[in-house]
Structure 1
Amino acid sequence: MKPAKQKKLEAAGWKVGSAADFLGLTDAEEMLVSMKLALAGKVKELRQGQNITQTELAKRIGSSQSRVAKLETADRSVSLELLMRTLVTLGASQNQIGRIVSQQPIRKRPAVSRKNHGKELAKS
């Protein structure tokens, strides 16, 4: 966000920060979310690169197509273990998985919020 825009928002009563700040995530929670997103993105990338449908991948991992869809979007119900097991099924090595989770998180756009009657409201 441009500094001028940030100053203008803050002057109007808006609070500017990261999504993790807005959601109240701890550093550990933010790290886990970042790792899940990276692993999920790689699952989708490898699946598509191998021209495998979600249904075909589901059969390979003993699951359902809807579960693979959730897996690829890093749904909160998907475990890190399932993400890693799926990557191994797609041919990823232990070293490749290590590199995926150790990558720097994608730069986040600041979240913007304003207090209203004691409650934080998000505005897009």
Structure 2
Amino acid sequence: MWASVFHAASTPKRGIRSLSLSDADAQSIETKLALSRRRRDLREKRHLTQTKAASLLKTSQSRLARMEAGDPSVSLDLLVRGLFALGATWKELAKAV
């Protein structure tokens, strides 16, 4: 179920507001998607491949790809640690959400 929710939430035409979710669930999903986008943007800004960024985080390239795609199986903790591994500051983290 959550995979379809994340897919719908990340689809521009539908968006998260078109889903029947509680405010807390919607905000949680929006937060994870925002952090996923920020993580990808930061990696690209630093001119890192997914493989190189994955090694900094001590994870696999496929797991990193799922992080950047907003996969619901990726924990909020992993997204935050991924941002910090790329050198993000608390201020950048707060700005992302």
TM range (shorter): 0.7 to 0.9
User: Shift of the alpha carbon at 1:98?
Assistant: 1.4
Q: What are structure 2's unaligned runs of at least 5 residues?
A: 1-13
User: Shift of the alpha carbon at 1:99?
Assistant: 1.8
Normalized against structure 2, the TM-score is what? Answer: 0.79
Normalized against structure 1, the TM-score is what? Answer: 0.63
Q: What are structure 1's unaligned runs of at least 5 residues?
A: 1-17, 102-124
RMSD: 1.4
Larger Rg: 1
Match of 1:23 in 2: 19
Match of 1:85 in 2: 81
Q: Which has the higher contact order (CA 8 A, sep 6+)?
A: 1
Answer yes or no: is 1:52 the counterpart of 2:61. Answer: no
Q: Percent identity?
A: 39
Answer yes or no: is 1:75 the counterpart of 2:68. Answer: no
Q: Secondary structure at the match of 1:70?
A: helix
Q: Which of the pair is proportionally richer in helix? A: 2
Q: Which of the pair is proportionally richer in strand? A: 1
The 5 A counterparts of 1:86-105 are 86-101=82-97
